[in-house]
Every structure is written in C-alpha cells, then in structure tokens.
C-alpha cells in the first residue's frame, strides 16, 4: 500500500535537456540577428561605391558612356505570368567595356518600350559592384539580368532599351 501512495519520481533530466535546447536555440537566433544587423546592406554598399561616379551632364560621363555597350540577349530574355495576374519579364543582356579603363561602378536603366517608343516600365539597377563582381576590366563582357514586374496582360512590350546612368572609372 505504501507504494500505491508514493508518487513516482519525475525525470528531471528530460526537463533539463529540453530547457537547455531552448536556451541554445535562443542564443543561436540572437547570434544570427547580431551578424545580420552588423553587416551593411547591399544597397548601402552600392550607394557608397557609386559616390563620385560620373552622371549625365558631365563631360566625363559623355566621354565614357559612348564606350560602354549594352545589348539584349534575346535568346534568354523571357516573360512569365505571376500569381497576381500580372506579367514579369526577366531581361538578359551583356555589357561590354571598351573605355580603356576598368569600371568600378556602373548603374544602368533598363526600359520596356511600346511600339510608339513610349516607356511602359523601367528599372534602374547597379550592376557593378555586386557581391561577386567588383570591377569590369577593359574589353571584358559582363552578363546582366534585370527583372521587371507588374506588367498588365495587354501592355505593349515591343522593345527594350538600355541606358547607362552612372559610371565610376578606376584611375
């Protein structure tokens, strides 16, 4: 009868292991958030990299922009419908540097043009620097992909236009 009235001992080791696992998981999450918050955002890095870049209206911009060739790769450029009922375009192209100097910063604007030459949608993006690309040497070709979303099904997407908007040259 004594054994009937005695309460069985609870296993404390299971609770201890469970609490320790929760504590370790919490510390891992805190460490991850700390690393992410200390790392500069890609946008900040790109903005800093384009400081001092030549922009439209300067003689240097006019000199170098004529020697940067951007062209569409028609074979890889695609469009697809999205779940929201719109259309997304994945525009592939190539940028060739024949300026005679390495480019350390390059911003381009890609526009989708209708049959009358009017811009339907456009997107400005920094192609140099990127995570793995810090410069484009003279004579080198850089493959580029730009995604533009939000086209209506009846939008006239007749042509594509590439335009250099900022250039930073290594001196």
> In the 8-state DSSP scheme, what is residue 132?
S
pLDDT in tens, 73-94: 999 999 999 999 999 999 999 9
129 has a pLDDT exceeding 90: no
Q: Check: pTM over 0.75? Answer yes or no.
A: no
The mean per-residue pLDDT over the stretch 6-24 comes to 74
pLDDT in tens, 39-64: 666 667 667 778 888 998 999 999 99
DSSP for 41-96 reads PHHHHHHHHTTT-EETTSHHHHHHHTTEEEEE-TTT-EEEE-TTS-EEEEEEEEEE
2 has a pLDDT exceeding 70: no
Query: Does the domain spanning 45-169 belong to CATH 2.60.40?
Result: yes
């Amino acid at each position: 009868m004594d054994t009937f009235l005695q309460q069985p001992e609870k296993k404390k080791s299971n609770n201890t292991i469970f609490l320790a696992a929760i504590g370790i998981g919490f510390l891992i999450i805190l460490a991850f958030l700390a690393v992410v918050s200390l790392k500069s955002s890609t946008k900040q890095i790109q903005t800093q990299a384009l400081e001092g870049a030549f922009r439209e209206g300067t003689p240097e911009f006019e000199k170098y922009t004529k020697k940067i060739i951007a062209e569409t790769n028609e074979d890889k450029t695609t469009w697809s419908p999205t779940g929201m009922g719109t259309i997304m375009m994945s525009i592939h192209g190539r940028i060739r540097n024949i300026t005679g100097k390495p480019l350390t910063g390059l911003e381009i604007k890609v526009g989708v043009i209708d049959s009358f030459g009017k811009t339907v949608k456009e997107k400005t993006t920094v192609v140099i620097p990127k995570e793995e690309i810090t410069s484009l040497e003279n004579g080198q070709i850089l493959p580029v992909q730009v995604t533009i979303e939000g086209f209506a099904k009846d939008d006239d997407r007749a042509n594509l236009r590439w335009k250099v908007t900022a250039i930073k040259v290594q001196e």
